[in-house]
Amino acid sequence: MELTSRTPAGPLAEKWDNHRFANKLVNPANRRKYKVIVVGTGLAGASASATLAEQGYEVHTFCIQDSPRRAHSIAAQGGINAAKNYQNDGDSIRRLFYDTIKGGDFRAREANVYRLAQVSNDIIDQCVAQGVPFAREYGGTLANRSFGGAQVSRTFYARGQTGQQLLLGAYSALSRQIHKGGVKMYPRREMMDLVVVDGRARGIVTRNLISGALENHAADAVILATGGYGNAYFLSTNAMASNVTASWRAYKHGAGFANPCFVQIHPTCIPVHGDYQSKLTLMSESLRNDGRVWVPVATGDKRPASAIPDAEREYYLEKKYPSFGNLVPRDVASRNAKEQCDQGKGVGSTGLAVYLDFADAIKRDGQATILKKYGNLFQMYEKITASNPLHEPMMIYPAVHYTMGGLWVDYDLMTTIPGLFAIGECNFSDHGANRLGASALMQGLADGYFIIATSIAHYLGTNKLEAVSISDPQFLAIQKEVGDKLHRLLRNSTAGPAGKVTVDEIHKELGKLLWDNCGMARNRQGLEKALAQIPGIRETFWDKVFIPGIGGELNQSLERAGRVADFLEFGEIMVRDALTREESCGCHLREESQTEEHEAKRDDANFSHVSVWEYKGDEHEPLMQKEPLSFEFVTPSQRSYK
Partner 1 sequence: MSTIDLTLQIWRQKDSDSPGNLQIYTLGGISTDMSFLEMLDVLNEKLTREGKDPVAFDHDCREGICGMCGSVINGVAHGPEKETTLCQLHMRNFKNGDVLVIEPFRSRAFPIRKDLIVDRSAFDRIIQSGGYVSVNTGGSPDGNSIPIPAKTSELAMDAAACIGCGACVAACPNGAAMLFTSAKISQLCLLPQGQAERKARALAMVATMDEEGFGYCSNARECEAVCPKGISISNIARMNREYFKAVLLGE
- CB atoms < 10 A from the CB of 252, how many? 16
Q: Name residues contacting partner 1, limited to 286-345 (CB under 8 A).
A: none
Q: Name residues contacting partner 1, limited to 482-511 (CB under 8 A).
A: 496-497, 502, 504
Candidates 216, 429, 474, 557; binder of partner 1 (CB under 8 A) is 557
Residue 17 CB, nearest approach to partner 1 (Å) = 15
Q: Is 75 in the site for partner 1 (CB under 8 A)?
A: yes
Q: Give the residue among 599, 596, 597 at the shortest CA–CA distance from 588.
A: 599
Q: Is 74 in the site for partner 1 (CB under 8 A)?
A: yes
Residue 211 CB, nearest approach to partner 1 (Å) = 9
Q: Is 563 in the site for partner 1 (CB under 8 A)?
A: no
- CB atoms < 10 A from the CB of 496, how many? 10
| Closest to partner 1 by CB, 35 or 273 | 273
Contact map string, positions 127 to 166, toward partner 1, x by CB under 8 A: xxxxx-xxxxxxxxxxx--------------xx-x-xxx-
| Closest to partner 1 by CB, 500 or 609 | 500
Q: What is the rounded end-to-end Cα distance, in angstroms, of the chain?
A: 43
Judged on CB neighbours under 10 Å (0-12, 13-18, 19+), 273 is middle
Residue 238 CB, nearest approach to partner 1 (Å) = 9
Q: Is 218 helix (H, G, I), strand (E, B) or coil?
A: strand
- For 134, residues 6+ apart whose C-beta sits below 8 A from its C-beta are 124, 127, 128, 142, 143, 156, 157, 158, 165
| Closest to partner 1 by CB, 75 or 624 | 75
Candidates 21, 28, 88, 278; binder of partner 1 (CB under 8 A) is 278
Q: Is 569 in the site for partner 1 (CB under 8 A)?
A: no
Q: Which stretch binds partner 1 (CB under 8 A): 19-27, 171-179, 259-267, 309-317?
A: 171-179
- For 586, residues 6+ apart whose C-beta sits below 8 A from its C-beta are 104, 105, 107, 262, 331, 404, 432, 433, 434
Q: Name residues contacting partner 1, limited to 352-371 (CB under 8 A).
A: none
Q: Are 223 and 212 in contact (CB under 8 A)?
A: no
Polymer length of the chain: 642
Residue 633 CB, nearest approach to partner 1 (Å) = 27
Q: Alpha-carbon distance 143 to 128, whole Å?
A: 12
Q: Greatest CA span in the chain, whole angstroms? A: 75
Per the DSSP assignment, residues forming a β-bridge with 296 are 313
Q: Name residues contacting partner 1, limited to 231-250 (CB under 8 A).
A: 239-241
Q: Which stretch binds partner 1 (CB under 8 A): 6-14, 25-33, 457-465, 551-559?
A: 551-559
Residue 565 CB, nearest approach to partner 1 (Å) = 17
Q: Are 396 and 285 in contact (CB under 8 A)?
A: no
| Closest to partner 1 by CB, 75 or 327 | 75
Residue 559 CB, nearest approach to partner 1 (Å) = 10
Per the DSSP assignment, residues forming a β-bridge with 590 are 522
* Element counts in the chain: helices (H) and strands (E): 18, 21
Q: Name residues contacting partner 1, limited to 447-466 (CB under 8 A).
A: 449-450, 453
Q: Give the residue among 609, 614, 230 at the shortest CA–CA distance from 440.
A: 230
Residue 69 CB, nearest approach to partner 1 (Å) = 6
Q: Alpha-carbon distance 45 to 51, whole Å?
A: 10
Q: Alpha-carbon distance 636 to 131, whole Å?
A: 40
Q: Which stretch binds partner 1 (CB under 8 A): 366-374, 415-423, 512-520, 548-556?
A: 548-556
Contact map string, positions 38 to 57, toward partner 1, x by CB under 8 A: ---------x--xx--x---
Cα 439 to Cα 60, 105, 446: the distances in Å are 27, 15, 10
Contact map string, positions 377 to 396, toward partner 1, x by CB under 8 A: ------xxxx----------
Size, binding site for partner 1 by CB under 8 A: 83
| Closest to partner 1 by CB, 321 or 421 | 421
Q: Is 540 in the site for partner 1 (CB under 8 A)?
A: no
Q: Is 86 in the site for partner 1 (CB under 8 A)?
A: yes
| Closest to partner 1 by CB, 268 or 415 | 268
| Closest to partner 1 by CB, 106 or 229 | 229
Q: Alpha-carbon distance 625 to 50, whole Å?
A: 35
Q: What is the DSSP letter of 14?
A: G
Residue 137 CB, nearest approach to partner 1 (Å) = 6
Sheet containing 623-628: give its strands across: 406-407, 257-258, 609-614, 623-628
Candidates 149, 187, 424, 437; binder of partner 1 (CB under 8 A) is 187
Residue 129 CB, nearest approach to partner 1 (Å) = 4
| Closest to partner 1 by CB, 168 or 221 | 168
Candidates 1, 17, 65, 289; binder of partner 1 (CB under 8 A) is 65
| Closest to partner 1 by CB, 187 or 267 | 187
The residues annotated as belonging to the active site are 330
Contact map string, positions 108 to 127, toward partner 1, x by CB under 8 A: --------------x-xxxx
Residue 48 CB, nearest approach to partner 1 (Å) = 10
Q: Is 20 in the site for partner 1 (CB under 8 A)?
A: no
Q: Is 274 in the site for partner 1 (CB under 8 A)?
A: yes
Q: Alpha-carbon distance 639 to 642, whole Å?
A: 9
Q: Are 101 and 110 in contact (CB under 8 A)?
A: yes
Q: Is 556 in the site for partner 1 (CB under 8 A)?
A: yes
Convert 66-132 into a string of H (helix), E (strand) and C (coil): CCHHHCHHHHCCCCEECCCCCCCCCCCHHHHHHHHHHHCCCCCCHHHHHHHHHHHHHHHHHHHHHCC
Residue 345 CB, nearest approach to partner 1 (Å) = 22
Q: What is the CA radius of gyration of the chain?
A: 24
Phi, psi of 228, deg, nearest 5: -95, 180
